[in-house]
Amino acid sequence: MVKIGDILKIEDELQIVVECNKKTVVTMGYINQSIISNQIEEFTFEELKEKSINLVGSISQELLEKAKRKMIFNKVEEFHDLFHQKKEFVSGENQLSYAGRIYDKDEMIALTDASLDFWLTSGRFCNQFETDFAKYLGVKYALLTNSGSSANLLAVSALTSPKLGDKRLLPGDEVITVAAGFPTTVAPILQNRLIPVFVDIDLGTYNISANQIEQALSDKTKAIVIAHTMGNPFDLDTVMEVANKYSLWVIEDNCDALGAKYNGKLTGTHGHIGTSSFYPPHHMTMGEGGAVYTNNPKLKMIIESFRDWGRDCWCPSGCDDTCNKRFDWQLGQLPQGYDHKYTYSHIGYNLKVTDMQAAIGLEQLKKLPKFIERRIHNFNRLKSNLIVLQEDLILPEKTHNSDPSWFGFILTVKDGSKVSRNKIAQYLEKNKVQTRMLFAGNLTKQPAFVTSEYRLASDLKNTDKIMNDTFLVGVYPGLTDEMIDYMSKKIIEAVEFAKL
């Protein structure tokens, strides 16, 4: 009687038994002690009796596990092909989302692979992603976390560490930023009892008015924390010039701009710390997830500490005594030799990701260049189609010296136009074209921020303008030329409708 793991010679071909029940035997081709082919065959016992069969031996548990995983992956691929295929686009019937996840069987298989490990927390897939992502960015260190918002929290919190000495940020210190954006770019500033100083933005690029930064500084200013709006890099030449002149920290919120370049160098890598988000609408996804990256080894260790409960120990999960003096430290007011693994140098969090998320991210990272290419294509096609609306709408413009990696297509109603932003948005939504505002509009007007302590560097005239007159549509890789052209047609119609 054959059993799972047996190596059989069937009609001069070596095969291993991977499934066996009372009626049938399933085999996979066996090449050598480390390689199994994808050839799968199923035999009844009656069929086997009619063949020339010899029992050659049995395979290792390691190789058997590999074979069983292959079989499961084949089933996952079959499931994907049956139930995860894109639906045919029908104009006016299918919703054109502003963003969405793009994936295939590879991500589903990777997720299954990590699930079968049942490691559950950060492990081999996380380690590999951090290595590969750092290599993609061209930085020394990349640390995974559970969201882009957490990435921003870790980045700002890291700058408050006592380990930075006189360079640490203290409560009451000021941070240059903008009010036209996503709330969790600014929230970590307030959460660390720092004071955001809001500078206005430029219409067209929707990025910080870089020429206003220097006049916004005070003797309390210690950092600049701003995002590359909608994948369009901000003026990094001016920002870094001011930062270097006044010894300011720079955090680039790169959550909407992964793959964008400024002067040929990827955004997120010009300042001291960069952050990314892997939430489904972004350039790549792992469901929930984010990353913090830097070239500074001290900042890397501080960020890691804040992410991992605030502990001083840097041992990976499941490892002990990496420093070779686990019981020789004396920190704070702890007794000499207190276990370094349970010594805490920061008021930290637990903001790690699971290996299941990282496994998806590894497959997405391979597709990222194609994703970015398609975003740029969709943006350019949409802009070409909408040139006819320049009399009423401000079309988006890329920053000088930049190569954007577009997250969305921003449109603003011009002053003096009879067009209503809300009427345009309502018309588009009615016609299955999803719209979004430029996130929070003006953060200082939001309920959560009206009572917060902040300083205005100017009257935020343009920020108020986008709050009242700006909207955006998508350019994500799931949009085909047919979809972009339909979207363009409906936007043109919407502008005419909004004039009525």
Does 208 score more than 80 pLDDT? yes
| Average pLDDT score over residue span 314-335 | 89
| Average pLDDT score over residue span 102-128 | 97
Does 1 score more than 80 pLDDT? no
- Spatial separation of the C-alpha atoms in residues 249 and 271, rounded to whole Å: 8
Res 315: pLDDT: 85
Does 225 score more than 80 pLDDT? yes
Res 300: pLDDT: 98
Contact criterion met (CB below 8 Å) for 96 and 433: yes
Residues with Cβ within 8 Å of 140's Cβ and at least 6 positions away in sequence, in order, are 134, 294, 295, 297, 300
Q: At what angle do helices 355-386 and 105-117 cross, to 10 degrees?
A: 160
Q: Could you give the residue numbers annotated as active site?
A: 282
Q: Which of 12-16, 223-227, 299-303, 373-377 has the lowest mean pLDDT?
A: 12-16
Question: How many H-runs (helices) and E-runs (strands) does the chain carry?
Answer: 13, 19
| Average pLDDT score over residue span 134-147 | 98
Does 499 score more than 90 pLDDT? no
- Confidence label for 36 from pLDDT (cuts 50, 70 and 90): confident
Contact criterion met (CB below 8 Å) for 15 and 25: no
Contact criterion met (CB below 8 Å) for 76 and 116: no
Joined tokens for residue 488: 């363009």
- Spatial separation of the C-alpha atoms in residues 13 and 274, rounded to whole Å: 55
Does 322 score more than 90 pLDDT? no
Query: What is the radius of gyration, based on Cα positions, of the chain?
Result: 27
**pLDDT single digits (tens) 385-420:** 999 999 999 999 999 999 999 999 999 999 999 999
Res 48: pLDDT: 87
Q: Which of 36-45, 76-85, 202-211, 366-375 has the lowest mean pLDDT?
A: 36-45
- When the pLDDT of each residue in the chain is averaged and rounded to a whole number, the result is 96
The pairing of strands 273-277 and 249-253 is parallel
- Confidence label for 316 from pLDDT (cuts 50, 70 and 90): confident
| Average pLDDT score over residue span 87-110 | 95
Q: For the chain, what percent of residues have pLDDT higher than 90?
A: 91
Q: Helix/strand/coil (H, E, C) string of 333-357?
A: CCCCCCCHHHCECCCCCECCCCHHH
Residues with Cβ within 8 Å of 33's Cβ and at least 6 positions away in sequence, in order, are 59, 60, 63
Does 37 score more than 90 pLDDT? no
**pLDDT single digits (tens) 418-452:** 999 999 999 999 999 999 999 999 999 999 999 99
Does residue 469 or residue 29 have the better pLDDT?
469
